[in-house]
Amino acid sequence: MALLEEIAETSGMPAYSLPEYPLVTICPSKKWVALNLRDLWAYREVLYFLIWRDIKVRYKQTLLGVAWAIIQPLFTMLVFWLFFGRLAGLPSDGIPYPLFAYAGLVPWTFVSNAVSSAGNSLIGNPSLITRVYFPRLIIPCAAVGAGLMDFAIILLFLLVPMATYGVAITWHLLLLPFLITLTTLLALGVGLWLAALNVQYRDIRYVLPFLIQLWMYSTPLIYPTSLVPAQWRWLFAFNPLAGLVEGYRAALFGRQWDWTALSISSSITVVLVVTAAYTFRRMEKTFADVV
Amino acid sequence: MRPIIIAEHLSKQYRIGAHAGQRGAVRYVTLRESLVEGVRASFRRWWGGERSVAETIWALRDVSFTVMPGEVTGIVGRNGSGKSTLLKILSRVTEPTSGRAELYGQVASLLDVGTGFHPDLTGRENIYLNGAILGMKQYEIERKFDEIVAFAEVERFLDTPVKYYSSGMYLRLAFAIGAHLSSAILIVDEILAVGDVNFQMKCLGKIDEVTHDGRTVVLVSHDLNLIAHLCHTALLLRDGHLQRVGPAREVVDDYRTVLSSGDGQEAAL
């Protein structure tokens, strides 16, 4: 073997030094497969370019560009304020209602957009699945990642109403990165579940807007958690976004933290992400045949 | 010398439901179909009847072969003989139902041109995007950028969104990126029929160059002259079975005889 290669080298032919073990082994995978994080890391540039593509296209196609990011939560906030704050007179835990509503809409806008674009990401890009190989997990991850740009813009814009109302910034704000991480993980967990199911069951695409709407009403966006009767709070806590939204309000306005709700939210989020990733990997092998 | 590709008993089964539209394609199901099927299956089990056997086809059946480093292998066969399925398995797009393959080198596959191209992005942006999707590292793309642009002849339109490109320009750019992949193994589906005659000549030249680089190429084409000219070895597939392996010219001649013997005989076999 070594001799052959030597001969090849001296005779001017290209020398092939094949690796001892195959770089790629192709075989039917078992029912449950490892996440294969190394493969994911090897293809990180694809993730980066897909996120970059989504962001670039988004701001290129739309005339208003960056403004779109703010328009959605801003107008929702105005509608909430007018109808629920003013007309219905819903309480807002002593925070000015517009601020109260906008603070909830910051994570909500991100989560709802990220979940729906991640959920549709696989069926929306069939050629990425049937024509080329890279870990399919990257596709919904990129959809969620691209939403982070808007998230940042919306969050920064919050400074405007906060300054208007003269809200003081407190040390509570330091917990914001923790909340943002959790929110991203939550969007990823739900998005991965829906993306994988969407390939198998096309109904998901039609159910998705409806599910998101239901999720919105069961999240304390319009009303404060304190409005929920005490004996039902535990059930309420099973919506991981509920604890998160109140967390944002606590961080931004220096309010009391509800650590129980937040730890339930975090636990559910972690469970969601882990189960979603494994389910996705399990279903992944049939994507190319079904999509 | 050891082979760079070892394929052993590769098989791929597709399930085609009663409602399946296209032959060989599994259609997605709706939740309702799954529920109905689930209820039916449990009833059948209850009554002790036979299990429902979804209609299946073997797109590929027990295919084994090896490819030596630097060898150019062509795959020929009629439509539906399993050529594309084999390429999809080798490029890891889909999993085999059974069997295994070992690849002793980095693989890049060109099953289509312009995968991931976005019409609103400029030529420059799409080169980076498509390059990354095809498995190129960013520094590699940067190094080969000028070469790709020159090959595709789109210098003047680099910063124009590709939706304004003529279809020829679009395909040239898409092909140019793929042609500059530098992996040890290159898997190419029928994509050489791109652009005008001049560009086709250029593409063939490029493929020739790639094959003389000592890289391993597996390609599918309906152009038998091309296969005979480019390839050392050819595989002839028929109904998912590997019918013949051998020197490209011989296999191509063989296949030509089969083709000219007509459909009637084919059906009788």
**With an 8 Å Cβ cutoff, is B45 touching chain A?**
no
Q: Does B109 touch chain A (CB under 8 A)?
A: yes
User: For residue A233, which of A261, A213, A214 has the smallest C-alpha distance?
Assistant: A261
More confident residue, B138 or A62: B138
For the segment A93-114, the average pLDDT, to the nearest whole number, is 92
| pLDDT digit string, tens, across residues A183-238 | 999 999 999 999 999 988 888 888 899 999 999 999 999 999 888 888 888 788 88
Q: Which pLDDT band holds residue B24 (cuts at 50, 70, 90)?
A: very low
Please measure the distance between the N-terminal and C-terminal CA atoms of chain B and give it in whole angstroms: 39
Bigger pLDDT: A180 or B183? Answer: A180
* pLDDT the model gives residue B22: 41
Residue A1 predicted with pLDDT over 70: no
Contacts of A132 in chain B (CB under 8 A): 91, 93, 109, 111-112, 115-116, 133-135
Per-residue pLDDT, B29:
65
Q: CA–CA separation, B13 vs B254, rounded Å? A: 27
Q: Write down the mean pLDDT value for chain B.
A: 83
Which range is least confidently modeled, A87-96, A107-116, B40-49?
B40-49
Between these two residues, B168 and A182, which has the higher pLDDT value?
A: A182
> Does the CB of B191 have a partner CB in chain A at under 8 Å?
no
**Is the confidence at residue B92, as pLDDT, over 70?**
yes
pLDDT at A10: 39
Stretch B15-26: mean pLDDT: 49
Q: Is B132 on the interface with A (CB under 8 A)?
A: yes
- Residue ranges of domains in chain A: 41-273
Evaluate if residue B172 carries a pLDDT over 90: no
- C-beta atoms of B116 and A128 within 8 A: yes
> Which of A83-87, A146-150, B53-57, B109-113 has the lowest average pLDDT?
B53-57
Q: A48–B132: do the CB atoms touch at under 8 Å? A: yes
Q: What is the pLDDT of residues A133-190, one digit of tens each?
A: 899 999 999 999 999 999 999 999 998 888 888 888 888 888 999 999 999 999 999 9
Residue A5 has pLDDT above 50, yes or no: no
Is some CB atom of chain A closer than 8 A to the CB atom of B16?
Answer: no
Gyration radius (Cα) of chain A, Å: 24
Question: What's the pLDDT tens digit per position in B35-70?
Answer: 777 777 666 655 554 444 567 888 999 999 999 998
Q: List, for residues B132-166, the tens digit of each pLDDT value.
A: 998 888 899 999 999 999 988 889 999 999 999 98
Interface A–B counts its CB contacts (< 8 A) at 140
The residue of chain A nearest to residue B106, with distances taken between CA atoms, is: A23
Under 8 Å between Cβ of A11 and B94: no
Residue B225 has a CB neighbour count (10 Å cut-off) of 9
- Asked if A133 lies within 8 A of B91 by C-beta distance, the reply is yes
Closest CA of chain A from B268, distance in Å: 31
Distance CA B18, CA A248 (A): 52
Query: Taking CB atoms and an 8 Å limit, are A57 and B121 in contact across chains?
Result: yes
Cα nearest neighbour of B1 on chain A: A1
Looking at the complex, report in whole angstroms how far the Cα of residue A284 sits from the nearest Cα belonging to chain B: 9
**Cα–Cα dist B115/B131, whole Å:** 9
